[in-house]
Amino acid sequence: MTSGAEALARLVVDVPDYPEPGVVFKDVTPLLADPAGLRAVVAALADAGRRDGEVVVDAVVGMEARGFLFGTPVALELGVGFVPVRKAGKLPRETHSRSYALEYGEATLQIHRDALAPGARVLLVDDVLATGGTVEATRELVTACGAEAVGVAVLMELSFLHGRARLGDLPLTALLTL
């Protein structure tokens, strides 16, 4: 059987100097194309939304774009809904916004103001934790909705970028730490 860590080691490709010199980009498209590998990492990420076998989150939030690809199947696996956090200008109704910096640039993220029920317990899902700017901004957006981020689950943590330090008390599940 394929484990999540084995799938990541085999199916994530390092691309040096993309999208700019000095960055080693983690390309997850071969993982997405491999049904057994994809199933293994989705199952492992979903475990972050359970305690003692019980689902303890009310929603999964995924960040554009790769957080959508992993967050949606994780939500299905947990039996909860999926809420997208999008780059600025993509959501059609009233939003909350947060700007942030990441390993190779800056961006603004948005969430629909009514996307989460007040008090909802939310699992954040993404592919990579790098500087932590994306997760920090997303957590603030969840809080602005009156909900609470109770955990973050990622495929890979790039520990040399110290994203964990920006998470405060938010529990992190990383299937692979590099």
Ligand X SMILES: Nc1ncnc2[nH]cnc12
Ligand Y SMILES: O=P(O)(O)OC[C@H]1O[C@H](OP(=O)(O)OP(=O)(O)O)[C@H](O)[C@@H]1O
Residue 64 annotated to the active site: no
And the tokens for 160? 């040399």
Site string for ligand Y, 127-146 (x = CB under 6 A): xxxxxxxx------------
Please pick, from the candidates 9, 24, 33, 88, the single residue that binds ligand X as defined by CB under 6 A. 24
Residue 166 in the binding site for ligand X (CB under 6 A): no
Q: Answer yes or no whether residue 23 interacts with ligand X by CB under 6 A.
A: yes
- Per CB under 6 A, contacts with ligand X among 121-160 are 128, 130
| Contact yes or no for 26/8 (Cβ under 8 A) | no
List the structure tokens of 77. Answer: 């696996």
Pairing of strands 50-51, 148-157: unpaired
Q: Does 163 bind ligand Y (CB under 6 A)?
A: yes
Q: Rounded to whole angstroms, how far apart are CA atoms 169 and 178?
A: 21
Q: Give me 89's structure tokens.
A: 């200008």
| 26 touches ligand X by CB under 6 A | yes
Burial class (CB in 10 A: 0-12, 13-18, 19+), 19: exposed
Q: Which of ligand Y, ligand X, none lies near 112, with the C-beta cut-off 5 to 8 A by kind?
A: none
| Partner from ligand Y, ligand X, none contacting 110, C-beta within 5 to 8 A by type | none
